[in-house]
Structure 1
Amino acid sequence: MALGLFRVCLVVVTAIINHPLLFPRENATVPENEEEIIRQMQAHQEKLQLEQLRLEEEVARLAAEREALERVAEEGQQQNESRAAWDLWSTLCMILFLVIEVWRQDHQDGPSPECLEEDELPGLDGAPLRGLTLPNRATLDHFYERCIRGATADAARTREFVEGFVDDLLEALRSLCSRASDMEVEDFIGVDSMYENWQVNKPLRCDLFVPFMPPEPYHFHPELWCSCRSVPLDRQGYGQIKVVRADEDTLGCICGKTKLGEDMLCLLHGKNNVMRPGGEAADLLCAGDSPYLDTMRVMKWFQTALTKAWHRIAHKYEFDLAFGQLDTPGSLKIKFRSGKFMPFNLIPVIQCDDSDLYFVSHLPGEPFGETPASSTDWLLSFAVYERHFLRMTAKALPEGACHLSCLQIASFLLSKQSRLTGPSGLGNYHLKTALLHLLLARRPADWKAGHLDARLHEMLCFLEKSLLEKKLHHFFIGNRKVPEAMGLPEAVRRAEPLNLFRPFVLQRSLYRKTVDSFYEMLKNAPVLISEYSLHIPSDHASLPQKAVVL
């Protein structure tokens, strides 16, 4: 109790002592003007409010910047995700396109020979050719009998007459040549349409290969370029022919495969035994600066030799012999006194080793071709193999097969179109190549005589597809589907495929003209066949051409 009263008293005493009125402090001052204090307090408050606003604005700015950074980061992440998805999609598309291209390359020669259904025809869906309506089979048969079979009825007599005359001409040529210094001319070989039984256009023309060999001790060493991967595309299908001595065959001597020192001498090949340009090489029709055979020198030699041979036997015949085209070696015409003429081609060729391949300076009757870069470039011809393949295939086809009829009708339409609009980049050799591909793809039973209209339509479809793709592969080069019984050299079978339509890729104007001419031919085909089925116009005979009398 006493402790509680003491505490109360202590509190009262403390309050009295600290009261400012009873005991004023020495240093304490009372503000004289309360308004000044209030004004200062308001100014301080406004200052604090401004500071607060500044801080709030700063916080808002920082928040906005942070949101913008977050938004940019989010958009970048989305773009990265979309870019990754796009890259993945592009990669998948590229892989898909590559797979499709590989599949197309593997099947570009058409379906397997075992079966080729109607839905697998080489034409293009929706293409203009799908709407082509050819005349019925009866009209086609009548057209063929009246305009084609009748026009080629005397083909056998023409071949017999030309062959007899050429035998005599070549024999006269041999009698004028020296075996020790001149080229040795061998027997001729019949090739192309007249010997494959599908010649249509008149006058009938025979194409004859005349192989020749150099005098001993020289021989030809052909160099195939279709088997070399380093050869440019425009050089495929060509080759060169080197003239070498029999004792200078570098294939059998080590000096041709290694470098000998200055003091080393090959016992087989002396330094003075090399055939130098301008010496014996010039007499052997080689180019001036190389040991390779020159096409221009061969052409001049052959034309000169034929002229001398004809002058030797001209007294035996009652007709004249003339050159048909001066820039084509061996293009000849027999001119009868009645005004008629009979053209034929004697083509100097070089056999490639022991095969049926031959090097030629040109392909007779073709509308275009890539000009060789050098006069020592020779074109490789498969004409003999083509004739063998057609004969071998005919043995397996039904009697009266329509394969040659298709080729004859297509060749007939092409020749008439060429007279209307001029020659184009499409020639008979392309038509024959298309037929060879289809013969390899179709079953023998599909070539019955009653299937003429279907096979003709299919052949035109194949040509249209090839033109639109600018791709028509050579039938033999790089085609491993060709039967091994043909005996093709392995280097040719394993070579890269040769595109016969490659000039269309480089020559756009020629390609456009060819496509327009082809579709114009398709448009005119029904009317042309119907008209020629009723009568044969007077322009069916060939127009005369200029000639140079020998």
Structure 2
Amino acid sequence: MALGLFRVCLVVVTAIINHPLLFPRENATVPENEEEIIRKMQAHQEKLQLEQLRLEEEVARLTAEKEALEQAAEEGQQPPEAQAAWDLWTTLCMILFLIIEVWRQDHQDGPLPECLGGDEDELPGAGSAPLRGLALPSRATLDHFYERCIRGATADAARTREFVEGFVDDLLEALRSLCNRDTDMEVEDFIGVDSMYENWQVDRPLLCHLFVPFTPPEPYRFHPELWCSSRSVPLDRQGYGQIKVGRADGDPLGCICGKTKLGEDMLCLLHAKQSGAQACREMEDLLCAPESPYLDTMQVMKWFQTALTRAWHRIAHKYDFDLAFGQLDTPGSLKIKFRSGKFMPFNLIPVIQCDDSDLFFVSHLPREPSGGTPASSTDWLLSFAVYERHFLRMTSKGLPEGACHLSCLQIASFLLSKQSRLSGPSGLSTYHLKTALLHLLLSRKASDWKAAQLGSRLHELLCFLEKSLLEKKLHHFFVGNRKVPEAMGLPEAVRRAEPLNLFRPFVLQRGLYRRTVDAFYEMLKNAPALVSEYSLHVPSDQAGLPPKAVIL
């Protein structure tokens, strides 16, 4: 009797453990774009549920028989044939469960191919995600492709920067001469950021991004409010902040009555006059939102565009070209138009420094790294562009001569740019590529970035990016990353903040995620043809055979 009861319990426990809804396997994640696989899995789940119901009925019948056998055994009339039948049914049920389990593992949780370059140490968190359809060319082909298509395309970067910087200096100086120091915003010197100043610009035409910090007139000052200083900030506002405008002494209206004890029968006429409509007009003059002490991005955009237009009219007679706005929704998107028909675009971006750090609040960006849009016009995007430039420069000093880290980023950016022109823009940007590279730079040894390892590091970069896409998780490099060297001077509030997921929009927007994944795999599929097309003059005796591709 005890043995029979144990067998019944074992059958029931086995059925519960094998139920796919109660105990799903952890590694049974499937890309959402595999509709056929998902359909088969759903059909398989329905079959398992039907089988489970049948087995439960069988267990109930066997339990009833067991009770009858126990009653017969008590009466001393238990036939040996019934005990043999019970043992047979128990054995058959266990064999059936084992067959179902083996079949489910074979069809639902098949092993994934390993990532190329598996002979090297696996990075923590990088995993071994498969790259479908990617066959990297030989080292000679990659080297020739880089020299001809990328290094040659950026040969004029230094001359372009020098020309743009000289013109912007003159433009900002004209802007300062037109401003009233007592009432207008004060514009400071520009700061070069992004690919042109990190030496990995690929696209033509060459594009300079310049931050232009500005401050309010005396006695006002900006009071930045980081999102990480409050735990009640929604997820969609992480990465943003607000900027409060107030007086340096903390008195919003600057009246002496707030610092002096007045009698009960005394009234401050100056304070009363400054209250109400006049105070609102004063805040609006400081580019704040209506009836709010917070700086408004739309107000800043209008002010900056108007100020640049006035400054250009002041110095236009000195130049033999025209200046126009490139994108109306971006305040400082400018374009120099030469008489020959050529043009040179550049971006002047109004920013506000966050305290004494190298963090800057940005009103608008051509491509926002967070992948989202601000919920309010008083939300400002927090930019780490200056820290990114410092980190790349600091890291480059410890790498071998001719290190391939920027070459990897340039080739990946080149492939993404070409794919975007073929299939249209997706949720993947060059900022995501740079973020993935920064993570790899922090995890890899300096000796792993030798020039001879260009192919391995490029494949690893794409492998890291694919795994991040499949998991819909790519953490911001600086936010919440305590592995960043303290020598960077990152504010402690940012270091201790919760990690910021740059791929969070993919969790909320299934259509965008599907387009992005499709575009990414299409880019991998087209990569060998693109590299070969731009490397037609590689000698045949140096080309060699491409490494073996890993294909799902």
TM-score range, shorter chain: 0.7 to 0.9
Equivalent pair of 2:131/2:466 in contact (CA under 8 Å): no
For residues 361-408 of structure 1, the C-alpha deviation after alignment (integer angstroms, 9 at most, x for no partner) is 223345883121110000000000000000000000000000000000
Q: 1:186 to 1:135 in 2, by over 3 A?
A: same
Q: Which residue of 2 aligns with 1:58?
A: none
Q: 1:274 to 1:496 in 2, by over 3 A?
A: farther
Which runs of at least 4 in structure 1 moved beyond 3 Å after TM superposition? Answer: 74-87, 116-126, 262-267, 269-277, 365-368
Q: 1:463 to 1:274 in 2, by over 3 A?
A: farther
For residues 190-212 of structure 1, the C-alpha deviation after alignment (integer angstroms, 9 at most, x for no partner) is 00000000000000000000000
Q: Which residue of 2 aligns with 1:158?
A: 160
Larger Rg: 1
Equivalent pair of 1:360/1:381 in contact (CA under 8 Å): yes
Q: Which residue of 2 aligns with 1:497?
A: 499
Paired residues in the alignment total 435
Equivalent pair of 2:369/2:431 in contact (CA under 8 Å): no
| Residue 448 (1) aligns with residue 450 (2) | yes
Between 470-479 and 117-126, report the one with greater CA deviation. 117-126
- The one-letter amino acid of 1:150's match is G
Distance 1:293 1:489 in 2: 22
TM-score, normalisation: structure 1 = 0.73
Q: 1:302 aligns with which of 304, 319, 323?
A: 304
Distance 1:77 1:534 in 2: 71
The aligned runs of 1:317-336 (5 Å cut-off) are 317-336=319-338
Equivalent pair of 1:122/1:458 in contact (CA under 8 Å): no
Between 78-87 and 322-331, report the one with greater CA deviation. 78-87
- The one-letter amino acid of 1:232's match is P
Q: 1:371 to 1:277 in 2, by over 3 A?
A: farther
| Residue 397 (1) aligns with residue 388 (2) | no
Q: 1:411 to 1:264 in 2, by over 3 A?
A: farther
Distance 1:403 1:202 in 2: 21
| Residue 458 (1) aligns with residue 460 (2) | yes
Q: Which residue of 2 aligns with 1:229?
A: 231
Equivalent pair of 1:227/1:496 in contact (CA under 8 Å): no
Distance 2:410 2:301 in 1: 31
| Residue 529 (1) aligns with residue 531 (2) | yes
Q: 1:418 aligns with which of 410, 417, 420?
A: 420
The aligned runs of 1:101-120 (5 Å cut-off) are 117-120=120-123
Between 74-83 and 443-452, report the one with greater CA deviation. 74-83
- The one-letter amino acid of 1:451's match is Q
Aligned with 2:225: secondary structure?
strand
Q: Which residue of 1 aligns with 2:489?
A: 487
Equivalent pair of 1:226/1:238 in contact (CA under 8 Å): no
- The one-letter amino acid of 2:431's match is Y
- The one-letter amino acid of 1:288's match is P
The aligned runs of 1:349-368 (5 Å cut-off) are 349-366=351-368
Equivalent pair of 1:224/1:240 in contact (CA under 8 Å): yes
Q: Which residue of 1 aligns with 2:509?
A: 507
Q: Which residue of 1 aligns with 2:432?
A: 430
Q: 1:270 to 1:494 in 2, by over 3 A?
A: farther
| Residue 378 (1) aligns with residue 385 (2) | no
Q: 1:469 to 1:271 in 2, by over 3 A?
A: farther
Distance 1:249 1:353 in 2: 19
Aligned-residue offset at 1:303: 0.3
For residues 490-511 of structure 1, the C-alpha deviation after alignment (integer angstroms, 9 at most, x for no partner) is 0000000000000011111111
Q: Which residue of 2 aligns with 1:281?
A: 283
Aligned with 1:456: secondary structure?
helix
Q: Which residue of 2 aligns with 1:540?
A: none
The aligned runs of 1:201-350 (5 Å cut-off) are 201-248=203-250, 278-350=280-352
Mark the runs of 5 or more structure 2 residues left unpaired by the alignment.
27-118, 539-552
- The one-letter amino acid of 1:247's match is D
Q: 1:432 to 1:244 in 2, by over 3 A?
A: same
- The one-letter amino acid of 2:380's match is W
Aligned-residue offset at 1:232: 1.0
Equivalent pair of 1:367/1:424 in contact (CA under 8 Å): no
For residues 175-224 of structure 1, the C-alpha deviation after alignment (integer angstroms, 9 at most, x for no partner) is 00000000000000000000000000000000000000000010000000
Q: Taking CA–CA contacts closer than 8 Å with sequence separation of 6 or more, which of the two structures ends up with the larger relative contact order?
A: 2
Q: Which residue of 2 aligns with 1:471?
A: 473
Q: Which residue of 2 aligns with 1:200?
A: 202
Q: Which residue of 1 aligns with 2:130?
A: 127
The aligned runs of 1:57-76 (5 Å cut-off) are none
For residues 98-130 of structure 1, the C-alpha deviation after alignment (integer angstroms, 9 at most, x for no partner) is xxxxxxxxxxxxxxxxxx94344866557244x
Distance 1:368 1:353 in 2: 22
- The one-letter amino acid of 2:200's match is W
Q: Which residue of 2 aligns with 1:177?
A: 179
- The one-letter amino acid of 2:121's match is E
Distance 1:81 1:517 in 2: 48
Q: CA RMSD in A?
A: 3.6
For residues 14-41 of structure 1, the C-alpha deviation after alignment (integer angstroms, 9 at most, x for no partner) is xxxxxxxxxxxxxxxxxxxxxxxxxxxx
Aligned-residue offset at 1:230: 1.7
Q: 1:302 to 1:264 in 2, by over 3 A?
A: farther
- The one-letter amino acid of 1:118's match is D
Q: Which residue of 2 aligns with 1:45?
A: none
- The one-letter amino acid of 1:127's match is P
Distance 1:318 1:451 in 2: 47
Q: 1:395 to 1:244 in 2, by over 3 A?
A: same
Aligned-residue offset at 1:132: 2.1
For residues 328-360 of structure 1, the C-alpha deviation after alignment (integer angstroms, 9 at most, x for no partner) is 010000000111100000000000000000000
Equivalent pair of 2:129/2:466 in contact (CA under 8 Å): no
- The one-letter amino acid of 2:174's match is A
Aligned-residue offset at 1:228: 2.3
- The one-letter amino acid of 1:158's match is T
Equivalent pair of 1:277/1:291 in contact (CA under 8 Å): no
Aligned-residue offset at 1:271: 7.3
Aligned-residue offset at 1:231: 1.1
Aligned-residue offset at 1:263: 6.9
Aligned-residue offset at 1:279: 1.8
Distance 1:486 1:444 in 2: 18
Q: 1:433 to 1:357 in 2, by over 3 A?
A: same
Q: Which residue of 1 aligns with 2:542?
A: none
- The one-letter amino acid of 1:458's match is E
TM-score, normalisation: structure 2 = 0.73
Equivalent pair of 1:438/1:459 in contact (CA under 8 Å): yes
